[in-house]
């Protein structure tokens, strides 16, 4: 077997290191544990991008909690969101009476999260808050406020730590930017 990896990451420029991500997640977990003392929140991971963040975040929250997963896609596959969101995989458990924490990889236009917050409200959640690893405020189209933000970044397309470019790079332990080839 060849010693060199076939997975070539040399075209990725690191924006946020693995260490910085882990340190920030400890802080977010502590803040959530403090704010939700005495409650049993349900953390809902927005697949697929938030998977990696979710798995580290729940281990940083020293509380009794439960988890669930939802997968959505925006209509019209392209990189431009139209605002229409389709649920591909719905929650397993009802939301009635639950304190929900929505876990996202990145808050960009806000269209996905504004749709989910409205839909979860209509389904009877007691409270809904948002934790996002990344926040790109420059591209916001819908009024959405995250309650917990890992890092606010400039308007660049980022990959790694769950985030993909055409399904690639999700397994990088850091957040990076694909270098332009020209
Ligand atoms: P929003 O509805 O525009 O806020 O969409 C958020 C979703 O778009 C995220 O969950 C990501 O899947 C995707 N997305 C937005 N910006 C990026 C990026 O820079 N890299 C990878 N995916 C992104
Ligand atoms: Mg996503």
Query: For domain 18-155, which CATH number applies: 3.10.20.340, 3.40.50.2300, 3.40.50.2020, 1.20.1250.20?
Result: 3.40.50.2020
Global pTM value: 0.92
- Overall average pLDDT of the 129-151 stretch: 96
Which ligand lies nearest to the CA atom of residue 49 in the structure?
A: 2
pLDDT confidence tier of residue 73, bands split at 50, 70 and 90? confident
144 Cβ contact partners less than 8 Å away, ≥ 6 residues apart: 107, 110, 113, 114, 117, 130
Q: 157: Cβ below 6 Å to ligand 1?
A: yes
41-68: average pLDDT: 98
CB 101 within 8 A of CB 124: no
3-state secondary structure at position 95: coil
Order of strands, edge to edge, in the sheet holding 66-74?
A: 85-89, 66-74, 42-47, 99-107, 127-135, 148-152
Active site residues: 108
């Amino acid at each position: 077997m060849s010693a060199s990896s076939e997975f070539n990451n040399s075209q990725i420029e690191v924006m946020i290191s693995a260490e910085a991500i882990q340190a920030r997640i400890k802080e977010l977990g502590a803040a959530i544990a403090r704010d939700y003392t005495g409650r049993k929140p349900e953390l809902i991971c927005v697949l697929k991008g938030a998977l990696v963040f979710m798995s580290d975040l729940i281990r940083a929250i020293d509380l009794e909690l439960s988890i669930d997963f939802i997968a959505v896609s925006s209509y019209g596959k392209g990189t431009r969101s139209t605002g229409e969101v389709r649920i591909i995989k719905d929650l397993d458990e009802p939301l009635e009476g639950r304190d929900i924490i929505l876990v996202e990889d990145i808050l960009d236009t806000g269209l996905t999260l504004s749709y989910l917050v409205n839909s979860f409200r209509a389904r009877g959640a007691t409270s809904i808050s948002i934790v996002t690893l990344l926040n790109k405020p420059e591209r916001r189209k819908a009024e959405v406020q995250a309650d917990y933000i890992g890092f606010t970044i400039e308007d660049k397309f980022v990959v790694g730590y769950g985030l993909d470019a055409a399904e690639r790079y999700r397994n990088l332990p850091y957040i990076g930017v694909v270098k332009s080839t020209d």
